């Protein structure tokens, strides 16, 4: 961070307002420019990945036994005979307008497929984040307040295990124990076969659709299906949020204003929640925004294990069938969401923390 | 190596003025070892990693069966005296496959470290030392790679290169260097403004000599810590690729792929998927504990 340039007192009072807006506008242009550059880079990386594929995209369309004339015509139509720079320009122009080509797997435009599967992932990741916040924040605060106690050790172990367990294995073991042995939760997928298509998709998020249709039997079935994958995914978000909350709180509790608050005779609750916690709220919000991005990553393997029909399953299905349009479309979308979340957390920090103004 | 005559090891290691370059190096290692050895969780991590390396070295003697020999008359068996951890769907001994699997996972870790470490160090140190336009360009590229979640980029790369353990290693390696480059750049920025760099420049050392001989050695401790902690993540990503069928190809024993093959039978023959997962957890935990201990010993200001 750069401090403001030193100015004489007169110029500060005269030019405060205008220079602040000027700085804000410059900063906005700078941030938007860097986001645009990053997205362009992201498209360049995916373009290169798409080019190194050993599969000939023309052969995939015309078939192995097509005559040479047909092959060349298809190649021309796909623009593959043009220079690489021209191809990249077309790739970017198409991607910006949301055209990622047609999926070989479903024979539909990739963007339509993604629109269809995306709500399922949003639903899962949001629920997982809520679980992570609801458990991670209190546990992190408690671990910091009772530093070096058993609560602290539990929090540390949860964090360590969260860094060491493969998410797909945790999901499989969860299915084995809570579905097959105990029967507490529903199995794979979003609904049982009996409830399939019982509610018409409005938002695509099954819990909300059931609520809108007031179909509480379907809702209960959907809850039984989502609870295990959301908990498995939420565990990783919990581990991350808890670790960050703990270290933020430990830092704050060591500061002098906390000692001053204690000397004043405030209750421990007021000291911790009223003083220290209020000061970590801003960095915590940015941590939660980032954890949402990491969940998108975790959801790829989780969705595969739970046969959850979301973006992660779509990506792995496309991968296994070498459907590069689907793979690249999903990759670009996830990358853009990641960039968006980073931007959001940066913005939230600026808006919520008065010191950055 | 022996302590110089007339001194004990302790005097040699704690002498106030080192007598040679090697003496100084030995002393620095010793100074890092003292706090490390007093940290029980760090020692647990070190022991786990060392044990897995030992298992990999002595795999032919430790394994009770061949990892790829099939015995179709003895499929999906639970643990017995002959097959300690049971057998998989082709009648292969799970314990032996786990033992041989250590070689696969350690090979992945080693090669990924060999790819990511130097790239991250060179990119970061060059960007930090040269500065200006170079710095801006290199860090922009780093940002682009950081804009992808790591697993997603590794997945897309492996799918482009084609499935297989070597391509998986390349993909994981190519996605791993940006955080290291960031770290090396930050270290370089603090080092380049110090007096001994100015002195080296006055003497007439070239930029490449300063970067390679003066800056990079000082970046090493934090880089090694970061690389060690990163290995836990590499194990998980490699296992994830293996699970999706993009990593090691059958019949090579790889823990992630073993979980994938056990997935079909998980409700009845749970051991096929359960044991490789436990092996992954243990090794990954070992690297996490080892890395945490190294960080506390080498870089006390970074730990909380």
Which among A43, A162, A164, A228 is the top mutation candidate for probing chain B, defined by the most B β-carbons within 10 Å of its own β-carbon?
A164
Res. A43: pLDDT tops 80? yes
| Closest chain B C-alpha to A250 CA, distance in angstroms | 8
Banded pLDDT at A228 (limits 50, 70, 90): very high
pLDDT score for B44 = 94
Residue B35: the pLDDT is 84
Q: Looking at the structure, do residues A124 and A81 belong to the same domain, yes or no?
A: no
Q: Check if A279 contacts B (Cβ < 8 Å).
A: no
Residue A8's pLDDT is 42
Q: At what angle do helices A150-164 and B216-243 cross, to 10 degrees?
A: 70
Shared domain check, A172 and A76:
no
**Residue A16 pLDDT grade (very low, low, confident, very high; cuts 50, 70, 90):** low
Cα distance between residue B183 and residue B127, in whole Å: 11
The Cα-based distances of A37 to A25, A31, A42, A44, A293 in angstroms read: 18, 10, 9, 10, 20
When CB atoms are compared, the residue of B161, B277, B289 closest to A169 is B277
Collect all residues with Cβ–Cβ distance below 8 Å to A30 and sequence separation of at least 6: none
pLDDT in tens, B2-46: 556 667 888 888 888 888 888 888 888 888 888 888 888 899 999
Q: In Å, how far is B70's CA from the nearest CA of chain A? A: 25
- Lowest-pLDDT range, A208-217, A290-299, B105-114? A208-217
Distance from CA of B161 to the nearest CA of A (A): 6
Instruction: Map out the domains of chain B with their CATH numbers.
Output: 43-303 (1.10.3720.10)
Q: Which residues contact B35 (CB under 8 A, 6 or more apart)?
A: B296, B297, B300
User: Between chains, do B244 and A320 touch, taking CB under 8 Å as contact?
Assistant: yes
Domain membership of residue A103 (yes or no) is no
A161 shares contact with chain B (CB less than 8 Å): yes
Q: Is residue A305 in some structural domain?
A: yes
Check CB contact of B172 with chain A, cutoff 8 Å: no
CA distance B297 to chain A (A): 19
Judge whether A102 lies within some domain.
no
pLDDT of residue A76: 77
Assigned domain for A233 exists: yes
Question: Which residues of chain B neighbour A296 with C-beta distances below 8 Å?
Answer: 149, 152
Provide the pLDDT confidence category of residue A17 given band limits of 50, 70 and 90.
low
A111, A98 Cβ separation under 8 angstroms: yes
User: Which of A41, A76, A97 lies at the terminal end of a domain, its last residue?
Assistant: A97
Q: Do B156 and A331 touch (CB under 8 A)?
A: yes
Residues A62 and A17 in one domain: no
CA distance B25 to chain A (A): 32
One domain for residues A126 and A269: yes
Cα dihedral: A190, A192, A198, A199 (round 10): -20
In angstroms, the CA A229 to CA B173 distance is 29
- The span from the CA of B166 to the CA of A63, in Å, is 29
| Stretch among A179-188, A198-207, A216-225, A254-263 having the lowest mean pLDDT | A198-207
Using CA atoms, how far residue B148 sits from A289, B155, B161, B299, in Å, is 15, 11, 18, 29
- Termini Cα distance of chain A: 12
Residue A65 placed within a domain = yes
Residues of chain A above pLDDT 70, percent: 91
d(CA B87, CA B80): 9
Q: Is some CB atom of chain B closer than 8 A to the CB atom of A328?
A: yes
pLDDT (0 to 100) of residue B49: 95
Average pLDDT over residues B221-230: 90
Q: What is the mean pLDDT of the segment spanning B109-130?
A: 93
Q: Is A324 on the interface with B (CB under 8 A)?
A: yes
Quick check: A311 contacting B, CB < 8 Å? no
- Asked if B111 and B173 touch (Cβ cutoff 8 Å), the reply is yes
* pLDDT at A57 (0 to 100): 67
Task: Kindly state whether residues A155 and A66 are assigned to the same domain.
Answer: no
User: According to the model, what pLDDT value does residue B301 have?
Assistant: 60
* CB proximity B128 to A under 8 Å: no
Residue A12 is predicted with a pLDDT of 44
pLDDT tens-place string over residues B43-71:
999 999 999 999 999 989 988 888 887 87
Is A104 inside a domain boundary?
A: no
- A355 pLDDT more than 80: no
Same domain, A115 and A89: no
pLDDT interval class at A1 (50, 70, 90): very low
- Across residues A165-187, what is the average pLDDT? 89
Q: How far apart are CA B250 and CA B260, in angstroms?
A: 11
Q: Are B120 and B178 in contact (CB under 8 A)?
A: yes
- Do B147 and A163 make contact, defined as CB atoms within 8 angstroms? no
Assess whether A44 and A68 both reside in one domain. Answer: no
User: Residue A330's closest CA among A320, A318, A343, A339?
Assistant: A318
- Residues of chain B neighbouring A39 (CB-CB closer than 8 A): 147
Can you give the pLDDT at residue B50? 96
How confident is the prediction for chain A on average, in pLDDT? 83
* Nearest-10 Cα torsion for B6, B11, B13, B19: -60
Question: Does any domain span residue A48?
Answer: yes
Residues A3 and A120 in one domain: no
- The confidence score (pLDDT) of residue B171 equals 92
Per-residue pLDDT, averaged over B227-245, amounts to 92
pLDDT digit string, tens, across residues A79-106: 777 778 888 888 888 888 888 888 877 7
Tokens standing for B47? 């022991």
Residue range A242-258: average pLDDT? Answer: 92
Return the pLDDT at B271: 86
Q: Considering its fold, how many domains does chain A have in total?
A: 3
Distances (CA, A) of A218 to A118, A199, A228, A229, B220: 21, 8, 17, 18, 57
Whether residues A129 and A237 fall in one domain: yes
| Domain finish residue from A39, A69, A97 | A97
Q: What is the pLDDT of residues A134-154, one digit of tens each?
A: 999 999 999 999 988 999 999
Q: Under an 8 A CB cutoff, do B244 and A54 touch? A: no
Q: What are phi and psi of B93, to 5 degrees?
A: -75, 120
Contacts of B276 in chain A (CB under 8 A): 169
Domain encompassing residue A72:
58-97
Across the interface, of A42, A49, A293, the residue whose CB is closest to B157 is A49
Could you say which residues from 30 to 59 on chain A have a Cβ atom under 8 Å away from some Cβ of chain B?
34, 37-39, 41-42, 44-46, 49-50, 52-54
Q: Is residue A162 part of a domain?
A: yes
Least trusted range by pLDDT, from A7-21, A188-202, B244-258: A7-21
Cis peptide before B87 (omega within 30 of 0): no
Which residue, among B157, B166, B152, has the nearest Cα to A53 in the 3D structure? B157
pLDDT, one tens digit per residue, over A47-74 is: 888 877 766 667 766 777 777 788 788 7
**Nearest residue, CB atoms, A38 vs list B144, B240, B273:** B144
Minimal Cβ distance to B280: which of A41, A53, A169:
A169
A235 & A164 share domain = yes
pLDDT at site B64: 83
Return the pLDDT at B256: 92
Residue where a domain terminates, one of A41, A66, A97: A97
Q: How many helices (H) and strands (E) does chain A have?
A: 14, 0
Which CATH number does the domain housing residue A249 bear? 1.10.3720.10
pLDDT of residue B180: 93
Q: A64 with A49, same domain?
A: no
- Which is nearest to A329 in space by CA: A347, A344, A315? A315
Same domain, A182 and A216: yes
Question: A184-188, A353-357, B266-270: which has the minimum mean pLDDT?
Answer: A353-357
Q: What is the spatial distance between Cα A97 and Cα A93, in angstroms, rounded to a whole number?
A: 6
CA distance B227 to chain A (A): 15
Please check whether residue B272 touches A, CB under 8 A. Answer: no
Residue A88 neighbours by CB under 8 Å, 6+ apart: A44, A47
């Amino acid at each position: 961070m750069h401090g403001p340039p030193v100015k004489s007192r007169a110029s500060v009072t005269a030019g405060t307002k205008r220079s602040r807006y000027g700085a804000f506008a410059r900063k906005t242009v700078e941030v938007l420019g860097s986001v645009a550059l990053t997205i362009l880079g992201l498209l360049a990386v995916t373009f290169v990945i798409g080019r190194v594929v050993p599969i000939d995209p023309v052969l995939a369309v015309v078939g192995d036994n097509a005559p040479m004339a047909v092959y060349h015509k298809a190649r021309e139509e796909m623009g593959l005979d043009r220079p690489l720079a021209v191809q990249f320009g077309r790739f970017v122009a198409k991607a910006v307008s949301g055209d990622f080509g047609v999926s070989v797997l479903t024979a539909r435009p990739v963007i339509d497929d993604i629109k269809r599967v995306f709500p399922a992932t949003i639903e899962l990741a949001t629920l997982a984040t809520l679980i992570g916040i609801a458990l991670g924040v209190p546990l992190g605060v408690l671990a910091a307040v009772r530093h070096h106690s058993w609560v602290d050790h539990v929090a540390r172990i949860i964090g360590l295990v969260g860094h060491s367990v493969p998410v797909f294995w945790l999901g499989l073991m969860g299915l084995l124990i809570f579905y097959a042995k105990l029967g507490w939760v529903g199995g794979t997928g979003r609904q049982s076969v009996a409830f399939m298509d019982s509610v018409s998709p409005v938002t695509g998020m099954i819990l909300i659709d059931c609520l809108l249709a007031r179909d509480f039997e379907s809702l209960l079935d959907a809850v039984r299906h989502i609870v295990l994958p959301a908990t498995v995914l939420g565990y990783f978000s919990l581990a991350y949020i808890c670790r960050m909350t703990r270290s933020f709180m430990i830092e704050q509790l060591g500061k002098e204003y906390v000692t001053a608050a204690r000397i004043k005779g405030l209750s421990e609750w007021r000291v911790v929640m009223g003083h220290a916690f209020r000061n970590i709220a801003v960095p915590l919000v940015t941590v939660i925004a980032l954890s949402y991005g990491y969940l998108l990553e975790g959801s790829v393997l989780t969705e595969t294990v739970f046969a959850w029909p979301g973006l992660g399953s779509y990506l792995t299905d496309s991968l296994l069938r070498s459907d590069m349009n689907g793979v690249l479309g999903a990759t670009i979308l996830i990358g853009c969401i990641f960039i968006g979340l980073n931007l959001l957390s940066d913005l939230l920090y600026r808006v919520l923390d008065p010191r950055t103004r | 190596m022996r302590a110089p005559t007339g001194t004990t090891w302790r005097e040699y290691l704690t002498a106030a003025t080192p007598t040679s370059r090697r003496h100084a190096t030995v002393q620095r290692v010793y100074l890092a070892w003292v706090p490390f050895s007093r940290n029980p969780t760090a020692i647990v991590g070190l022991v786990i990693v060392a044990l897995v390396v030992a298992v990999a070295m002595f795999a032919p003697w430790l394994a009770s069966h061949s990892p790829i020999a099939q015995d179709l008359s003895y499929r999906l068996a639970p643990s017995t005296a002959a097959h300690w951890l049971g057998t998989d769907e082709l009648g292969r001994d799970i314990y032996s496959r786990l033992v041989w699997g250590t070689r696969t996972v350690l090979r992945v870790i080693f090669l990924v470290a060999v790819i990511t470490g130097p790239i991250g160090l060179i990119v970061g140190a060059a960007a930090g030392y040269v500065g200006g336009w170079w710095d801006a360009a290199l860090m922009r590229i780093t940002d682009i790679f950081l804009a992808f979640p790591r697993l997603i980029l590794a997945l897309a790369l492996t799918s482009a290169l084609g499935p297989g353990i070597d391509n998986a290693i390349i993909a994981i390696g190519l996605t791993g260097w940006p955080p290291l480059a960031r770290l090396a750049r930050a270290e370089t920025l603090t080092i380049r403004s110090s007096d001994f760099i100015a002195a080296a420049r006055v003497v007439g050392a070239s930029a490449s000599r300063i970067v390679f001989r003066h800056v990079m050695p000082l970046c090493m401790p934090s880089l090694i810590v970061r690389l060690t902690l990163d290995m836990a993540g590499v194990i998980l990503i490699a296992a994830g690729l293996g699970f999706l069928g993009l990593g090691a190809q059958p019949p090579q024993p790889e823990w992630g792929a073993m979980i994938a093959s056990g997935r079909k039978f998980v409700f009845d023959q749970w051991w096929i998927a359960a044991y490789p997962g436990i092996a992954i957890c243990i090794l990954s935990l070992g690297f996490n504990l080892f890395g945490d201990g190294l960080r506390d010993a080498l870089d006390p200001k970074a730990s909380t």
